């Protein structure tokens, strides 16, 4: 099982990361590039570009896919 942890994620275009669970409230922050985000229990998909963020609260399974040659993301967990 791949649990979401606070930290840094680097992806390349077309690279996919599946996160099976989130223990706490979390925010995904896009530092550079752009990422496609889809989550279970959410009818919408999201594209987050550099400087943008998305709240991941209440989403159990998340799939991230890099849309740019170099993608840098930070995950911040909130208490």
Angstrom distance (rounded) from CA 59 to CA 41: 6
Exposure letters 23-44 (e unless 16+ CB within 10 A, then b) = eeebebbbeebbbebebeeeee
Residue 42, in any domain of the structure: yes
Domain encompassing residue 70:
7-78
| Mean pLDDT value of segment 38-62 | 87
Establish if 1 belongs to a structural domain. no
Q: Answer whether 1's CB lies under 8 Å from 43's CB.
A: no
- Does residue 18 belong to any structural domain of this protein? yes
Structure tokens belonging to residue 58: 């209440």
Highest mean pLDDT among 10-14, 19-23, 25-29, 56-60: 10-14
User: Is residue 2, in this structure, part of any structural domain at all?
Assistant: no
Task: Count structural domains, the chain.
Answer: 1
Contacts of 23 (CB under 8 A, 6+ apart): 3, 4, 77
Q: Write the CATH number for 38.
A: 2.60.120.10
pLDDT above 70 as % of the chain: 86
């Amino acid at each position: 099982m791949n649990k979401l942890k606070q930290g840094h994620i680097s992806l390349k275009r077309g690279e996919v990361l599946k996160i099976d669970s989130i223990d706490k409230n979390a925010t995904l922050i896009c530092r550079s590039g752009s990422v496609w985000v889809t989550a279970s229990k959410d009818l919408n998909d999201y594209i987050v570009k550099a400087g943008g963020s998305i709240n991941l609260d209440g989403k159990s399974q998340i799939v991230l896919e890099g849309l740019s040659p170099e993608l840098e993301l930070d995950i911040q967990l909130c208490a």
